[in-house]
Amino acid sequence: MLPRHWALSGGSEFHYAQCVTENRTSPVSEARSEPSRRRTFVNILVNTAVANLTTSYLWFALTFWIYLETRNVIATGVVGGIYMLLLALSSISFGTLVDRYRKLAVMRFAALFTLVMFLLAGAVFLLAPEGQIARLDGPWFWGFAAVTLIGAVVENMRNIALSTTVTILVEPERRANAHGLVGMVQGIAFMVTSVLSGLSIGLLGMGATVVIAVVLTALAFGHLLTVRMPEEAEPAPSDAHGGFDLAGSWRAVMAVAGLFALIIFSTFNNFIGGAYIALMDPYGLELFSVEMWGGLFALASTGFIVGGAVIGKVGLGSNPLRTMLLVVMVLGLLGALFTIREWGWLYIAGTWLYMALFPAVEAAEQTVIQRVVPLARQGRVFGFAMAFESSAAPVTAFVVAPLAEFWIIPYARSDAGAAALEPLLGEGTARGIALIFLCAGALMILAAALAFLTPVYRRVSAEYAHAAAEDGAAGERGEVLETADGASLSSETRAGDEPLESPR
């Protein structure tokens, strides 16, 4: 049974039952002040940012390198789609491991595994016969790409663990702000990564890029070994079993009314994301050289920093779900219009605005989950959400890339196609990609607008407001909450920290 169980009865009246045991989720070996917990969180956040930066650096470089070597959007689309597919297939396992083991232990394992994979990728690149590494019909290319992708996918286990450390280390009313800081740090990583990736491929080549990634990954792993989090002296009591607890993940999601719908809402932009995975870099590389595109994408990535900083300062408002859907609609509008003409400044400006708004979508979903799901099951819920949302992008990537390569791009470059598209999209060699972005953005706007009209939206919004009010009222009263088994728990215990009563 979930520590917090929502039940709907009597029309719109919600009843909120506290069901917790008397021990904290993570036995505390030493009491620490909020500033001390904040410093630990910042340490973990910065370390994760370096790891994400390194993975993104190698990932961006791989995408640039593949397109420049092959000039084939199917290759970039397939590699991007495989990455998202692997992420979707592995996220349930990642969430299960996060629930079963200490968060720092999970982070250290992910860092070490990624380091080993990047070392193996370097070995494949070094041992490949001359002229074979970039051949799409050869095993060396796909072996190199596969090992790199696996290392990048496993590194994402750290992001699930990071979300749970927010619950452990950050007070409920400050979690949206904490996610804003996460978005800001990710923006900094993106900014630095795109510059380094473009310059690295353009000036140093793929081999040196792999070496740099290995060194940075090793440094991040070494630093992580020095981090301590006494709030988690041992793993939280959990009902997670094995290494792939799909049934437990499903039960954890379905036990909270409307949570599955929230995950569906968050998936809207992931369907469109597949088109961007497949075509965004090819579009930029059609407009700019690889070195210039890397620098300009870095400029656009400052949008992440600004967007994250704004959330870190002001939060997401009283209804994060409403904020998320409004932002998704604006993202759809930007995605439809930022390639309406083949103007470099328009593409960069639109990408900047897109990235400035995107952190709000991620922060809104995580803030709601952390409010209504207990820590003992958050890993599986976050893993399930990542799996579900990530599975959307490969579908569109695998469909869009072949359509673009074989039909839409050739049609747009033909005399008849160029004449038909010119009134709407103007002239240029990349009008086929612009047409795909236009249609994808229109679908995103429509999907988010329809979501506002659903009863589920109203129910989830009411549930979040009720949970926030209950937490706030209990905190102000400083009362002791009665548990289902007669035990008591001080209301000062942070929301989301109550454990499952389950044998390990």
Q: Give the model confidence (pLDDT) of 476-487 as tens digits.
A: 554 433 333 333
Report how far apart, in Å, the C-alpha atoms of 67 and of each of 80, 281, 350 are: 12, 9, 23
Tell me the backbone φ, ψ of residue 237, rounded to 5 degrees. Answer: -55, 130
User: Looking at the chain, how many residues does it have?
Assistant: 504
- At residue 472 the predicted structure's pLDDT band, cuts being 50, 70 and 90, is low
135-177 pLDDT tens trace: 777 788 888 888 998 998 898 888 888 888 887 888 777 777 8
Q: What is the pLDDT of residues 286-326, one digit of tens each?
A: 888 877 887 787 788 788 888 888 887 887 887 888 888 89
DSSP-derived pairing of the beta strands 480-482 and 14-18: unpaired
- Look up the pTM and report it: 0.64
Q: So what's the pLDDT on residue 110?
A: 93
The pair of three-digit structure tokens given for residue 322, joined into one six-digit string:
């409403």
Q: What is the pLDDT of residues 6-25, one digit of tens each?
A: 222 233 322 323 333 333 33
Predicted local distance difference test score (pLDDT) of residue 31: 52
Which tokens belong to 295? 């620098």
Three-class SS state of 488: strand
Q: 481 φ, ψ to 5°?
A: -85, 135
Query: CB-based contacts of 327: which residues, under 8 Å, 6+ apart?
Result: 357, 358, 360, 361, 364
pLDDT in tens, 237-264: 666 666 677 777 888 888 777 788 778 7
At 149, the amino acid letter reads L
pLDDT of 113: 95
Confidence of residue 493 (pLDDT cuts 50, 70, 90): very low
Work out the burial of residue 484: count CB atoms within 10 Å of its CB; fewer than 13 is exposed, 13-18 middle, 19 or more buried: middle
H helices of 128-258, in order, are: 139-155, 157-169, 175-199, 206-224, 246-254
> What integer pLDDT is reported at residue 388 of this predicted model?
76
Output the CA angle 87-291-271, nearest 5 degrees.
30
Residue 415 CB coordination number (10 Å) = 7
Q: Taking 50 as the threshold, does the pLDDT of residue 194 lie above it?
A: yes
Q: Looking at the structure, give the CATH architecture of the domain made up of residues 39-228+238-468.
A: Up-down Bundle (1.20)
Region 462-488: what's the mean pLDDT?
Answer: 53
% pLDDT > 70, the chain: 80
Report phi then psi at 268, rounded to 5.
Answer: -50, -55
**232 DSSP 8-state letter:** G
| pLDDT at residue 219 in the model | 94
Calculate the average pLDDT of the chain. 76
Cβ pair 366, 162 in contact under 8 A: no
What gap in Å lies between CA 497 and CA 262, rounded to an integer?
A: 21
Return d(Cα 320, Cα 303) in angstroms, integer: 20
